[in-house]
Amino acid sequence: MQANLNDRVYIVTGGSRGFGIAIAAALVQHGARVGLVSRNASALEAAVARLGADRAFAVGMDVSERADIARAFTRIKEHFGRLDGLINNAGLARPGAVENLDAADVQAQVGTNLLGTVYCCQAAIPLLRGGDNPRIVNISSASAYHMDEMAHLSIYAATKAAVERFSRDLRRELQGDAIGVTILRPGAAATEFAAGWDPSRFEPALKAWIDQGRLMDIGMDAAHVGATVAYCLCCPPGVSIDLLEVRPFHQMPKPDPATLMAQHGG
């Protein structure tokens, strides 16, 4: 499929950094316009400056706050005059061994990763209904299926597995509205994913991950995920990619925990 998204409009949640800004950049590259939502106002401003104000429009909001989502999505549709799809990318991970899971961290991950996806789909469906080849892409994670991803992310992985199961029902429910639903399951890539993690929890998670095996897969960055989303959006009406996994496959020895901690500010 040739990626041609000229003047189509997509909302990207968590669109200010990491996979989100990479997805938005790929869509803009292929001619689309993007509505970016995120909690980080300064990062959103920088994202719009990078993408161009004629191509990007930002609204600050928290996807776990249901009351704000419909208003934000409506603003984006009104700004561009149309809405063709939603990419549910916003995600939050907090490492922790199961025995020591922090209740607030558990609730934050469930609220952002699972409930945020549900709430955003609910807000988007009436805005997409009746459109020209509308799409929803829900970003999962390889950690929902593979055991060789980062350790001590049981809640994050569980929420992403729940997103996949939710998406399967969503696909069937939206068939009558001709809204395509795709699950995209990316593997590890160089992003700010671990920024802000508590070092006292991050270091044990790194050690447990290294104990899983001496090799790690490398070779993918956020731009590859962005390009894959663009590919998923280009299916013709009546066709969708149900589930697509994209992972790196070159292998190298894992670095020592101290090096990784230093890279992430620990």
Q: Which residues are catalytic?
A: 140, 156, 160
Cα–Cα distance for residue pair 58/11, rounded to 1 Å: 9
- H helices present in 30-153, as ranges: 41-51, 66-80, 103-109, 116-128
Tokens of 228: 């894959």
- Residue listed under structure tokens 């988007």: 124
- Residue listed under structure tokens 């909302």: 11
Query: What is the edge-to-edge ordering of all strands in the sheet holding 9-13?
Result: 56-60, 33-38, 9-13, 85-88, 135-139, 180-186, 243-246
- Start-to-end Cα distance in the chain: 43
CA-wise closest residue to 143 among 203, 182, 91, 104 = 91
SS3 85: strand
Cα–Cα distance for residue pair 187/220, rounded to 1 Å: 8
DSSP-assigned letter for residue 115:
I
